[in-house]
Structure 1
Amino acid sequence: MKIFYSVLSALLVGTAGLFAQTNVYYVDVNGNDGNVGSKEKPFATLNKANAAVNAGDTVWIRGGVYNLRDTIYVKTYNISAGIHLTASGESDDKRIHYLAYPGERPIFDGTNLLVGEGYDHYDGTIESVQYTSPIVVEAKYLHLKGFEVRGVPMKHNSNSGIYILYSKHIFLEQIDSHHNSGPGFFVNDGRANGGGHYFLNCDAHDNYDPYGRQGDGENADGFGVHYQESGDTTKFYGCRAWWNSDDGFDFINQEFPVVVENSYAMGNGYSDYGTQTPPSGNGYGFKMGESKTGKGRHAIKYCVAWKNTASGFYANYTSVGSKWLNNTSYNNGDRSFNMASTTYDSQGRETAPVAVLTGDNVHVLKNNIAYPNKLSRIGGENASGENNTWNLNLDLTESDFLSVDDPSMTITGVDLSMIAGALGPRMADGSLPDVDFLKLTAASRAIDKGEDIGLPFAGNAPDLGAFEYSGIITETHKKVLQPEWNLISTNGMLTIEGKNIENVVITNVNGQIIKTKDVDGTNTSIHFSIEAKGLYFVRVATSTGISVKKVFFQ
């Protein structure tokens, strides 16, 4: 798989913050909020930890199920929360960290939360609160990692698993938000100078709002970012959204750029593990509009959308085009790419049902795969892009791909996160599973057909789609293991020590393969010279499995 870490600093922020920590606290399902918060005498709730922490502190969350019931009134937005995180860090390198304890899995269960029962009008009373979330974040410079949020119910309105409210620079890593009666993640940056959040290797799946006053399945997206007009850019990397009753990624009313990279959207518009299609669910994979002011120009690159009930990639009648670069759309219910756009007046009123975007507002579409080439509002008066399968008259077939088979294509009625495949268990470091699904064969007609757009590639020109051909075929039968080998880096030399090693691949943070070597399985010490300083990823395949480590050359 091609790996692009467009924001390296976001990957290193967590580590930098931990080195600067001042206090460490612990939370345990068997703890007590009357305790001091030590490992031996932990707190029972994150609310208690929130009251104790300061910038630079770390909270280790022990594994187990935290059953949420009582709620806190969040006055700033007239909502309620099972957990309300308000304490802030000071900067990206002095965050407050809420981390799953190593080797353990905390689960915040909202099944028994006392949710708001208001319908559509808030009258100043707790009873009229309309929305409730298990976790509401209203802070700056936090790092959340390694836990699940699930099961929040609803009365009349959709309730998000995690609600980020008027916040800044929240780093969410390996968070799984699922089976909620609303969006998995909802970001509301409707106040000035917020945003700048980073979602790394997060999942949102099986979210469904059946009783919403706006319709059955209308608002349960996987990831939603909304209402921002200024501040910093929010970014997604390595995230997955599937079987959400509405859309996978939805940025409606977002008037500030968002970047989505190396992420997946599958089967959105379905519910109940892919067995039902709620009547009000939209079913788009990546919905990147609407922007009424012309400021919401997003970037979507190296992403994959498949088997959504509607279109894979959708502009949603926006007034400004986005940048759609090296994406793959496969077997979606309506169109592969739908660039439907329009214009608005100064009052935000639509001036035409459909309009052609011109000048700097046009959509940029380059190096994309549509399989099949089923499009809407592309070509003719509309932008057609360059070096996409439709421009090149490439009607790809199964023979162009290593595999078009994945459990998500045929299996329904069960939890896909537990089955090996594109939506199954992640790699040991939290990255996406290494499978052959929709990767190119050596003879694929999509190889070297792209345009150089300033991003890394191998060969004479970029390949089309989300996966640059590397010549490495995934051994899908092998398990993802914890590394059983050692890395030693000294004076520009990298040494890998271990047994039964068959293959080593070293990539930089841009996904470029720097070194690769096949060995006979008997070597116990393998040496590489590394010329440039920086962060590298080392993937080792042994006779029993594959594993990945990161190494930083000073």
Structure 2
Amino acid sequence: MKHKLLITVILFNYFIVSATEITVSTPQQVLSALSSASAGDIIYVLEGTYTFNSKFSITRNGANGNLISFLSHPDNTSRPLFDFSSMAESSSNRAISLSGSYWHIKGIEIFGSGDNGMFINGHNNLIEFCTFSECKDTGLQLGTGASNNTILNCDSFYNADSSLENADGFACKLDAGTGNKFIGCRAWQNLDDGWDGYLRGTDNITTTYENCWAIKNGYLKSGSVGAGDGNGFKTGGSDDKLLKHNAVYKNCIAAGNLFDGFDHNSNRGDVIIYNCGAYSNGRNINFSSSNIANSLEIKNTVSFSGNSGDSYRATTLDLTNNSWQNSLVANANDFVSLDIDLLISPRKADGSLPDIDFMKLVPGSDLIDSGVDVGLLFNDSAPDIGPFESLTLSVNDINKFEGVSNYPNPFSSETNIVFNLNQASKIKLSVYNMMGVKVFSIPEKTYSQGRNAISLSRNKLASGNYLLVLNGRDTQRTSKIISID
């Protein structure tokens, strides 16, 4: 195990706190580093397979603006694999239990646990670019009051349990807290649901899903039909059919799921679906009149080629500018591709979603500019209908957007954000703290072809780590910026 004192020191009330950088290469070193970590520490994991015969817990706490980081080493060519496949199937055999708060865990693959791959009951954590596969329960689950966690650019797939009921891709359910977010995540071929929001023991929480894809859930790894529910996004539900799980879906896709793409399941809360796409599910959108939702708002969304008719029911209902309204009829000719398998293409090196043609609108489609402004980025006179906006910035239009896209970095007074465009394009820049909360944004505007530079003043940011996000047509690029005193 290698230790290195970080050059950066952070001042708190005139006391100097030094953070430690640790490199680990064995399971024993991993456990030792986790058990002694303090705010600001960075634990790097070298590539390779790490075999664990029992679960482990992460209980230490970082601090707001001073996270504990547990990361794949930057020199790795592949992500470390944590193999728990020797564990028997049992509810006591979760792989990793995260009860600590203010952690950043990035670039780890978790495989074959006897229960959840990761169970989170801590708060204000960021889980990034991790995978959870072939676990005998849900890949990643939030519960026991877990709140304000962000799951970013993670995949969960091929999870299946012998009870044929509980293995979802992701779940914010039962007694979870509020304010949790899933951004850029994918769930495919899980025995039960892609995402499960079923509640028991809590009420009136809100979970947000942005740019998330649910694919072929209800089917097993082999491709055969499983015995689970098989929904893409199960928005809620409860034993007494009274509990409210408020949910916000933006630019999400449900495709090829065995039963419902977006599922009501007696959720009594408020559900918002903006600029989403549902294709070839058993039923694309299903909100029934039994145990009716309090409100359902669907705007700028495509529902196409479901195997059963959709159902939209709620006490308060707002359906506006969707693919089945205003004399619009979505059909295969509207899209560049409807190949569902594209949705599980490899991610980019930085963990962001792949650039694919699935559900991209072809030029001339009547779904272009037929939406209504819901506060998301759009080009021309009005938003497009569906999960992707056409004719604005694509990743291929950026010929320089490096891993560290600002200089200097770290910075103490001012930094410059620089990018080059192949053509004039409309983009938006935002800064988020490491919990996924937007600190501020630079208003959307059209930037010129060639080099563009934006000056960011230190007085807008407290010291700490932040995510700089560049949004364009169908891409979200992120990089870390560091503000110091």
TM-score, length basis structure 1: 0.70
* Cα pair 1:110 1:134 within 8 Å, conserved: yes
Counterparts of 2:284 and 2:221, CA distance in 1: 24
Matched, 1:337 2:290: no
Q: Deviations over 1:465-487 (max 9, x none)?
A: 11111256787xxxx99969998
Residue of structure 1 equivalent to 2:62: 89
Q: Tell me what 2:324 maps to.
A: 390
SS of the equivalent of 2:333 reads: helix
Is the 1:18–1:58 Cα contact (8 Å) retained in structure 2?
A: no
1:107 aligns with 81
The amino acid of 2:233's aligned partner reads F
Letter in 1 for 2:37: V
Q: Distance in 2 between matches of 1:382 and 1:547?
A: 33
Matches within 5 A, 1:171-190: 171-190=126-145
Quote how far apart the aligned CAs of 1:50 are: 2.1
Q: Is the 8 A contact 1:507 1:536 kept in 2?
A: no
Tell me if 1:438 matches 2:359: yes
Equivalent residue for 1:448?
369
- Residue 552 of structure 1: CA displacement? 6.9
Match of 1:218 among 146, 165, 177: 165
1:262 Cα offset (Å): 0.6
CA 1:463 to 1:54, structure 2 compared with 1: closer, same or farther past 3 Å?
Answer: same
Q: Do structure 1's residue 245 and structure 2's residue 186 form an aligned pair?
A: no
* Correspondent of 2:157 among 184, 188, 205: 205
Aligned counterparts of 1:553 and 1:62: Cα–Cα separation in 2? 24
Residues 495-520 of structure 1, C-alpha deviations (whole Å, 9 max, x = no match): 65xxxx96686732469574364xxx
Matched, 1:55 2:39: yes
Structure 1 residue identity aligned to 2:451: H
Query: SS at 1:507's partner residue?
Result: strand
Give the structure 2 partner of residue 537 of structure 1: 470
Alpha-carbon spacing, 1:18–1:337, altered in 2? closer, same or farther (3 Å): farther
Larger Rg: 1
Query: Does the aligned pair in 2 maintain the 1:58–1:97 contact within 8 Å?
Result: yes
Work out which of the residue numbers 220, 223, 230 in structure 2 matches 1:271. Answer: 220
- Output the amino acid matched with 1:55: A
SS at match of 1:298: strand
Is 1:457–1:512's contact at 8 Å kept on the other side of the alignment? Answer: no
Choose between structure 1 and 2: higher strand proportion: 2
Describe the shift of the 1:317–1:493 C-alpha distance in structure 2 as closer, same or farther (beyond 3 A): closer
| Separation in 2, partners of 1:338, 1:316 | 8
- Where does the alignment leave 5 or more consecutive residues of structure 1 unmatched? 1-15, 30-42, 72-81, 117-129, 154-158, 342-353, 409-420, 518-525, 540-545
- Which sections of structure 2, spanning at least 5 residues, go unmatched? 1-7, 12-16, 409-413, 431-442, 461-467
Report the 3-state secondary structure (helix = DSSP H, G, I; strand = E; otherwise coil) of the residue aligned with 1:24: strand
Contact 2:292 2:314 in 1 (8 A): no
Distance 1:206 1:460, change over 3 A: same
Query: CA separation in 1, counterparts of 2:19 and 2:482?
Result: 27
Q: Deviations over 1:26-48 (max 9, x none)?
A: 2213xxxxxxxxxxxxx734321
CA distance in 1, matches of 2:38, 2:171: 29
Q: CA deviation at 1:49?
A: 1.2
Is the alpha carbon distance of 1:390 and 1:493 closer, same or farther for their aligned partners in structure 2, counting shifts above 3 Å? closer
Match of 1:23 among 17, 20, 41: 20
Contact 1:26 / 1:62 at 8 angstroms: preserved in 2? yes
Cα 1:318–1:444 shift into 2, 3 Å: same
Deviation at 1:431, TM superposition (A): 0.8
Aligned partner of 2:320: which letter? E
What is the distance in 2 between the residues matched to 1:45 and 1:491?
Answer: 37
Q: Which residue of 2 aligns with 1:12?
A: none
Query: Equivalent residue for 1:136?
Result: 97
Q: In 2, Cα distance between the equivalents of 1:61 and 1:553?
A: 22
Provide closer, same or farther for how the CA distance between residues 437 and 227 of structure 1 changes in structure 2, counting only shifts above 3 A. Answer: same
Q: CA deviation at 1:199?
A: 0.4
- For residue 240 of structure 1, what is the amino acid of its counterpart? R
CA displacement at 1:293 relative to structure 2: 4.7
Change (3 A) 1:199 1:491: closer
Q: Which amino acid aligns with 1:183?
A: T
8 A contact 1:58–1:99 mirrored in 2: yes
Distance 1:393 1:208, change over 3 A: farther
Distance 1:297 1:378 in 2: 16
**Alignment partner, residue 515 of structure 1:** 447
CA RMSD in angstroms, aligned pairs only: 3.6
Query: Distance in 2 between the 1:465 and 1:265 partners?
Result: 15
Aligned to 2:125: 170
Tell whether the 8 Å contact from 1:109 to 1:134 is kept in structure 2 after alignment: no
What residue is the counterpart of 2:263 in the other structure? 314
Of the candidates 333, 337, 340, which is equivalent to residue 399 of structure 1? 333
Residues 1:495 and 1:174: Cα distance change in structure 2 (over 3 Å): closer
Equivalent position of 1:368 in the other structure: 301
Quick check: 1:488–1:495 contact (8 Å CA) kept in 2? no
1:146 aligns with 2:92: no
Which SS does the other structure have where 2:34 is aligned? helix
Partner SS for 1:54: coil
1:218, distance to aligned residue in structure 2 (A): 1.4
Q: How many residues align?
A: 434
Q: Return the alpha-carbon distance in structure 1 between the equivalents of residues 36 and 406 of structure 2.
A: 38
Do 1:506 and 1:536's aligned partners in 2 also have CA atoms closer than 8 Å?
A: no
Change beyond 3 A, Cα 1:472–1:151:
same
Offset of residue 396 of structure 1: 1.1
The CA deviation at 1:22 is 1.0
CA distance in 2, matches of 1:18, 1:396: 55
Instruction: Write the letter of the residue equivalent to 1:245.
Output: L
Change in Cα spacing, 1:372 to 1:532, as seen in structure 2 (3 Å) is farther
Residue of structure 1 in register with 2:311 after alignment: 377
**Superposition deviation, residue 282 in structure 1:** 0.8
C-alpha separation in 1, matches of 2:9 and 2:381: 41
1:505-543 deviations in Å (ceiling 9; x for gaps): 6732469574364xxxxxxxx42354887946399xxxx
Q: How big is the shift at 1:295?
A: 3.7
Change beyond 3 A, Cα 1:538–1:308: closer
Distance 2:229 2:48 in 1: 35
> What's the secondary structure of 1:139's corresponding residue?
coil
Q: Report the Cα distance in structure 1 between the residues aligned to 2:19 and 2:314, rounded to whole angstroms.
A: 60
Greater shift after overlay, 198-207 or 288-297? Answer: 288-297
- Of 136-145 and 480-489, more deviation after overlay is shown by 480-489
Cα distance between partner residues in 2 of 1:516 and 1:241: 37
1:355 deviation in Å? 4.0
CA apart distance, 1:395: 2.0
Letter in 2 for 1:95: L
Structure-1 separation of matches of 2:327 and 2:18: 56
With over 3 angstroms needed to count, the CA separation of the structure-2 counterparts of 1:199 and 1:17, relative to structure 1, is: farther
